[in-house]
Amino acid sequence: MKIVIASYHDTGRYLSVVPNEDEMLLQLFRSHNHEVELKVWDDERVDWTAYDIIIIKSTWDYFIEKIETFYAWLDYIKTTNIPCLNHPDLIKWNADKHYLLDIEAAGLAIVPSIIIEKNGTFNSEFAFTKFNTEELIVKPTISGGAMNTLRLNKNNVDEHVDEINTWLKDQAYLVQPLKQEIITEGEWSFLYFNGTYSHHLLKVAKEGEFRIQHFFGGKIVTTDVDQKLIAISQKYIDAFAKDSLYARVDGVWSNGKFELMELELIEPYMFFFTNENSLSNYYTAFEQLSKKIIHEKN
């Protein structure tokens, strides 16, 4: 099978302190005698029809003034009828954090959220009151890597209102209460391959920081987890990502319940290095889905 892994033009921002998973997957597929190449998703020279299957892995710049190009690329991939994992429709849905409201409407808990639509106005007093919180997080509905993400309190919010309203001229923004558990305990991540649980980890922010990403100094901790958390995370997969090659459920345990931060279905870092069985779990899922795809095409 001829496989192509869709990546991005790597500037080194994200991979400075963790293993490069693109390279790990190239080695994995080659070890199973597949022909595999790594290509930049928006490289117009790439002939995507030359491959049997497309795997979207690390298209980590799609949201940086490229979202319409990314959507157009996904639409093009659909027209080729080349199998794509994950499916382009699922990826388009997941690219915009409006999807959180769909998950909430399905009866699954998310971190309480308000979305201010494009050209709207940020009302901090309303948000502080609605969430009964001392701190807010404001971020774009289409973003990644904590881009344009602000931590606001009642002392500093006024100095950011004009900035946020300027940003709102370009796109919608998500407003949430800052979950203190992110700072005191960390954010859980649960990895699933073809709807089956693989492994988990805890991401802990460095002291004085609220962003848990490793490129902001966050720590990655492998620790035991209550089985009920795995069972809860499975509900999000069953409802929205059952046939996905990969999915990551990110959330926090708060006030006696699990609340979803994000359901990552586009290009999550999968933390293969934290679990010795993770790559074999991934490959098993790939085999299952590729056989299903081949059977359906025939």
Domains of the chain, with CATH numbers? 2-85 (3.40.50.880), 114-178 (3.30.1490.20), 181-274 (3.30.470.20)
- 124: amino acid identity, one letter: S
Which pLDDT value is given to residue 298? 62
**Confidence label for 294 from pLDDT (cuts 50, 70 and 90):** confident
Query: Given pLDDT bands bounded at 50, 70 and 90, which one contains residue 180?
Result: confident
Token digits of residue 23:
């390279």
Q: Is the pLDDT of residue 208 over 70?
A: no
Burial 189-219 (b: 16+ CB within 10 A, else e): bbbbbbbebbbbbbbbbeeeebbbbbeeebe
> How crowded is residue 24: how many other Cβ atoms within 10 Å of its Cβ?
17
Single pTM value for the model: 0.93
What is the pLDDT, as a whole number, of residue 172? 96
| 78: confidence class by pLDDT, cuts 50, 70, 90 | very high
The count of other CB atoms within 10 Å of the CB of residue 45 is 6
What's the mean pLDDT when you consider all of the chain? 92
β-pair type (196-204, 135-140): unpaired
Structure token pair of residue 185: 């305990």
Assigned token pair, 211:
């962003």
Residue 254: strand pairing partners: 257
pLDDT surpasses 90 at 99: yes
* Pair of tokens at residue 107: 């009866």
Residues 130-142 have pLDDT tens digits of 999 999 999 999 9
